[in-house]
Chains A and B, each alone.
Chain A
Amino acid sequence: MSENIVILMIGVSTFLGALGLIALLWGVKTGQFDDQSKFIDAARYDNEEELRDAVMMEQKKADHKKRREEAIKKRTMPVD
């Protein structure tokens, strides 16, 4: 067994582990584990309907932004 094999094995496994750790840290930072009880139930409500719901919410946000931009445009346009 050469040194290179050992370096490779330790390197790759630690790197993969570190990727998992980083994903976990990102999850903690973005608040995905804030609500333990809901977190556990998430799988039960994960279906097509929820996805449509999420899209609908995105759509609402986009609509609001558009309306607002239009309103600002109207206000800043010259009155003549």
Chain B
Amino acid sequence: MAPLPCTHCNLTFDESAMITEEHPDQTLHFCCKGCQGVYHLLQEEGLDTFYDKLGETTLQPASPQSEDLEKFDLDGFKQRYIHEDSEGLYEINLIIEGIHCSACVWLNEKVLHKMQGVIEATINYTNNKAKVIWDPEVVALSQIIETIRSIGYNAYPYDPSLQEERATKTRKAYYSRILVAVFGSMNIMWIAIAHYAGYFSGMKQEFKDILNVAEFLLATPVLFYSGWIFFRGAYYGYKNRIINMDTLVSTGAILTYAYSIYAMMSQHGEVYFDSVTMIITFVLVGKYLEVLSKKHAVDRLDTIMGSTPTEVTLVDKGVKSLVSIEHIIVGDIIELKPGEKVVIDGVVTQGGASFDESQLTGENLPTYKTLGDRILSGSLCLDSVVHYEATRDASSSLLSSIVQLLEESITKKPRIEQLANTISGYFSLGILIIALATFVGWYLTTGNFEQALIIAISVVVIACPCALGLATPMATLIGISVSAKRSILFKEATFLETMAKSTLLALDKTGTLTEGKPSVLTHQPLHPYDPNLLYALVATSTHPVSEGIRHYLTQAYTTLEAVPLEQIKSIQAKGVVAYYQGRRILGGNASLMAEYGIPTPSPTDHILFYFAIDDTLIAHFELSDTLRQGAIEMVKAVKALGIKVVMLTGDHKQSANSIAKQVGIGEVYATLLPQEKADIIDHFHQQGEVIVMAGDGINDAIALTKSDIAIAMGGGADVAIAMSDVVVLDEKPHSITDAFRLSKRTYRAIKENLSLSLLYNAIALPLAVMGFVTPLIAALSMSLSSLLVVGNSLRIKLHTKGATDE
């Protein structure tokens, strides 16, 4: 049978597995009830042009949403997310889940627009965020969310006031400034061409005046509007007694501008309005690139907070009620149902259940919690109902403190002072002193004020930070593009520099050094058995160990068929029991075997899985988290670069040590909670280390933001990727080594560039001081020095993969 695409979501399935509908003119195939429902809904609403717009794009199959809708109309929810305007309209910001293409955006907007009472609905396709304004007297939010769900998408609320607004505003301001700068410099460019042509072929003063005035008019807004950022930077620098790049750029630009106005008025000498705009434009574009990256981090953070419940079930003397989490006080008893996320820390008082704590520890194996055990917010209740006593209120619970810490650290990331900034600081100071000395010297020897002033200004102009300003951006730009080709994404240019200076690499275990899922190491059959039976048993469970066994079986045997089992019962944190043709089949850990009185061999360092039929042990499997390929080589290579390597993990000591031993890491910190990981990073900071941290989970997120450079593995949690400075897309440990090498190579190029431009200044400055610099020499030498810097930066491209140059 041929695989067919589902009429709604376009995913292909085998025909036999699909729901088929016969219509007079066509036959429809659906992969599931959800897709079928959505299709008919759209047909009825007359929105079927959606499928023409969709084209070949595949969607997620529409699955019915089980989460209750009531919470959207509760008071606590309203206070938190809904904003009421003066017209009495409600406004909310949502993140829409399941948007794949522009047709999805179109459909969602269309459906919302059609709803009675919805006044405005706009969806941003780039980040899937939506703004909805509605009339609360006509329609309730729960109805709006229900509508979005009914067409196969889901929506979470988020609070945009935190950071998004600020980030967007800065970005827009920069963008407008760049537009003005580019417009000004492009126009001045072609006027300057006429100018230079006139210089060589001879031009009447009247024409020169016209060109001068035109350049003046264009340069003025560029200097004062676009260049405002540098004046502000220079002013703050002045207040804090720091001379920085901004000081040099703004004094250079202002002096050149003033001199050009003087030349324009007095009608002798040349104007340099073109260099004024060029300096501003180039350096501004460089700064803009740095601003760009922050936004993504904020988008992801909103997703985490949006998916946490705002209400919990409070049990008070046997009466259950939904209560807003802000109203929970220490000592309240809370009921937790399967599938619910914990938002308040506490201690179990009744029942027991498995919890997925992967968000906190990074470990995929669920842990079983029973009476007296601590429950941490951020974990997920998996299989049964539990009552627990709150030990903290909502705001001091672990999850909210994680989010809070993340918010803080996005804005307060430690940065190493940039090399170019330090050098250019001294440089600017030196130039200003030399220019002043030149002026005084010429004035005293010749007594000609005007000549002395012109020569002093020409010193500043020739020392124009063109080459110096280009030194860092050019090298980092090429460094970034070379690493992007090797699937290493540096989010900001300066990270290359910081990484090159790093002294310590902190690695997460699960997901970074290891695959993050257990796989079978050894398989010891004690008696011959039918693998189909075991296959059927492990297929009933989604526990990572079962999946590891299943994966192993499908690789070891070509033909497997799940036999029908009866009375399947999974026992929390122990295993699965089932019956097949009257025989009892057991699969699980040692405590399950002990419960049924089956003796097991002594435990090892690894995870053990036993398989028994009736009362005999049939086989046992040893499982372990496997190392990623190349992890050992990576640790070795990074150590060879002179960088200390440590391991931070939420896993228990035993398995942490065994992995560390295999890859050759001496320093190991185990059983860490997210905050503790961050504390260790802080501790290293105090010792003066520059830290690179590589991780993949939410549990690493705080530590990632605390470290100087955060590397995320591409397959990790969204939030880890968002918090990181460097993303390794191919998830290969080898790429971490590559990132180190490339950053060191780029840093070397930056240093070379800086020396080149300083050398240029060392030659050109004395000439300027002596008054030998004509406009021609100035123009030629400026471009030459910039070309040298660009050429040197291009050499980074020659850096070959795996090369060990330092």
State the A residues within 8 Å of B (CB): 3, 6-7, 10, 14, 17-18, 21, 24-25, 28-29, 33-38, 41, 44-45, 53, 56-57, 60-61, 64-65, 68
Contact = CB atoms under 8 A, between A and B. Distances in A.
B641 interface: no
Given A25-B176, A64-B87, A64-B135, A34 B119 contact: no
A10 B191 contact: yes
Contacts of A44: 53, 102
B385 to A, nearest CB: 43
Nearest to A3: B206
Contact of B125 (A3, A18, A41, A60): A41
Contacts of A37: 102, 125-126
B180 interface: yes
Given A21-B180, A37-B102, A38-B124, A68 B210 contact: no
21 contacts: A3-B206, A14-B187, A24-B179, A25-B176, A25-B180, A28-B179, A34-B124, A34-B126, A34-B168, A35-B124, A38-B102, A38-B123, A38-B126, A41-B105, A56-B113, A57-B119, A57-B120, A60-B119, A64-B135, A65-B87, A68-B88
Interface string B627-665: 000000000000000000000000000000000000000
A44 to B, nearest CB: 7
B56 to A, nearest CB: 15
A14 B135 CA distance: 48
B172 interface: yes
Contact of B110 (A24, A29, A53, A68): A53
Given A14-B187, A44-B53, A57-B113, A28 B87 contact: no
A28 B172 contact: yes
Contacts of B87: 64-65, 68
Interface in B166-219: 168, 172, 175-176, 179-180, 183, 187, 191, 206-207, 210-211, 214, 217-218
A29 B118 CA distance: 26
A38 B123 CA distance: 9
A44 B168 CA distance: 27
B89 interface: yes
A64 to B, nearest CB: 5
A25 B178 CA distance: 10
Nearest to A33: B175
Contacts of A25: 176, 179-180
Contacts of B89: 64
B113 A53 contact: yes
A38 B176 CA distance: 20
Interface of B is mostly: helix
Contact of B207 (A6, A45, A56): A6
A14 B213 CA distance: 13
Contacts of B211: 10
Interface of B: 53, 87-89, 102, 105-106, 110, 113, 118-120, 123-126, 135, 168, 172, 175-176, 179-180, 183, 187, 191, 206-207, 210-211, 214, 217-218
Nearest to B110: A53
Contact of B210 (A7, A36, A38, A53): A7
Contacts of A10: 191, 210-211, 214
A14 B126 contact: no
B503 to A, nearest CB: 39
Contacts of A57: 113, 119-120
Contacts of A68: 87-88
Q: Which 9 A-B pairs have the closest CB atoms?
A: A41-B102, A38-B125, A37-B125, A35-B124, A21-B183, A10-B214, A37-B126, A35-B126, A3-B206
Given A14-B187, A38-B124, A64-B119, 6 more contacts: A21-B179, A24-B179, A34-B126, A37-B102, A53-B113, A64-B89
A65 B119 CA distance: 11
A25 to B, nearest CB: 5
A51 B723 CA distance: 41
A28 B126 contact: no
Contacts of A61: 119-120
A36 B102 CA distance: 11
Given A53-B110, A56-B113, A64-B89, A36 B126 contact: yes
Contacts of B183: 17-18, 21
B32 to A, nearest CB: 28
B223 to A, nearest CB: 16
Contact of A29 (B120, B172, B207): B172
A14 B176 contact: no
Nearest to B129: A35
A33 B171 CA distance: 11
Nearest to B118: A60
A65 to B, nearest CB: 7
Contacts of B214: 10, 14
Nearest to A18: B183
Nearest to A60: B119
Given A21-B183, A64-B119, A28 B210 contact: no
Contacts of A14: 187, 214, 217-218
Contacts of B124: 34-35, 38
A23 B180 CA distance: 12
Contacts of B110: 53
Contacts of A28: 172, 175-176, 179
B124 to A, nearest CB: 5
B277 to A, nearest CB: 14
B187 A45 contact: no
Contacts of B125: 35, 37-38, 41
Contacts of B180: 21, 25
A3 B88 contact: no
Contacts of B118: 60
A20 to B, nearest CB: 8
Contacts of B88: 68
Contacts of A24: 179
Contacts of A7: 210
A45 B168 contact: no
Nearest to A65: B87
A29 B183 CA distance: 17
Contacts of A18: 183
A10 B209 CA distance: 13
Contacts of B176: 25, 28-29
B143 to A, nearest CB: 16
Given A6-B210, A25-B179, A37-B126, A45 B218 contact: no
A2 to B, nearest CB: 9
A45 B179 contact: no
A25 B177 CA distance: 9
A73 B135 CA distance: 19
A35 B129 CA distance: 10
A7 B797 CA distance: 47
A31 to B, nearest CB: 8
A38 B317 CA distance: 54
A24 B87 CA distance: 31
Nearest to A10: B214
B438 to A, nearest CB: 36
